[in-house]
């Protein structure tokens, strides 16, 4: 795996954890990659945002957000995972594998983020920056395509411009078996629940919740 990634780990256990799906972790009493995914998501956002900021001094905040969202969404990270052959290397339960878990977009994208989080802990921010920008070239997005449908970005811009505040997302519950999990997330703004959304991944659920919230706030104009 490290040869395919073109990097090395001082603590190989971090990479093993990054590849460990929650289905396997639950069966064997080991740590899953979910905490590393959380960390990697933040590191990835930071590094891509930083590079967009440096490359495009003329670009306003709204367009920076749109381009960042297009570069780090699940579809984009799925392509990275396919290059790395993450599906074959992921450590998961037999049940999850039998249910097609190795091909699930959410699993692939989450594992990429977990690997980034693991490498950040192992090698530090500078090495991680070089690795991420080599693997995910920061280019401007096709703003007539999928990026325009990023409801989280649209909601953030709406709230910031109108109320000078931004929303956050609160996990409500998870439903279904591990191989067919559904996440439910609520959009919280100014202490109020503006509606919830569900999806096969946390990111998909957040997008659905943001769409509901955007509709409600738009009606209040």
Annotated catalytic, 142?
Answer: no
| Helix runs in the chain, H state only | 2-5, 12-18, 22-28, 34-55, 61-72, 74-84, 86-89, 94-98, 105-123, 125-135, 151-163, 202-219
Please give the order of strands across the beta sheet that includes 168-175: 168-175, 182-189, 192-199
Cβ atoms 69, 203 nearer than 8 A: no
Of 37, 41, 110, 204, catalytic = 41
Report CA-CA distances (Å) from 4 to 85, 90, 128: 9, 14, 16
Catalytic residue among 74, 97, 113, 154: 113
Helix (H, G, I), strand (E, B) or coil at 187: strand
Residue with tokens 């093993």: 16
Annotated active-site residue 41? The verdict is yes
Alpha carbon 89 to its chain's center: 19
CA distance 162 to 184: 27
Query: Quick check: 202 and 186 in contact, CB under 8 A?
Result: no
- Identify whether the C-beta of residue 114 lies closer than 8 Å to the C-beta of residue 36: yes
User: Annotated active-site positions, please?
Assistant: 41, 113
């Amino acid at each position: 795996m490290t040869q395919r990634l073109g990097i090395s780990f001082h603590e190989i256990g971090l990479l093993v954890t990054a590849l460990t799906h929650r289905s396997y972790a639950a069966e064997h009493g080991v740590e899953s990659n979910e905490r590393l995914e959380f960390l990697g998501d933040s590191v990835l956002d930071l590094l891509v945002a930083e590079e967009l900021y440096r490359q495009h001094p003329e670009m306003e905040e709204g367009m920076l957000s749109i381009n960042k969202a297009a570069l780090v969404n699940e579809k984009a990270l799925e392509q990275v995972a396919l290059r790395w052959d993450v599906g074959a290397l992921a450590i998961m339960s037999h049940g999850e594998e039998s249910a097609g878990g190795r091909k699930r977009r959410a699993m692939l994208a989450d594992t990429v983020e977990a690997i980034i989080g693991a490498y950040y802990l192992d090698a530090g921010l500078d090495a991680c920056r070089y690795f991420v920008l080599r693997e995910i070239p920061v280019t401007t997005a096709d703003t007539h395509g999928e990026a325009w449908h990023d409801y989280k970005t649209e909601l953030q811009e709406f709230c910031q411009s109108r109320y000078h505040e931004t929303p956050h997302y609160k996990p409500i519950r998870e439903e279904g078996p591990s191989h067919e999990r559904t996440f439910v997330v609520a959009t919280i703004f100014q202490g109020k629940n503006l509606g919830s959304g569900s999806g096969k991944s946390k990111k998909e659920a957040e997008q659905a919740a943001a769409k509901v919230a955007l509709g409600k706030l738009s009606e209040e104009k």
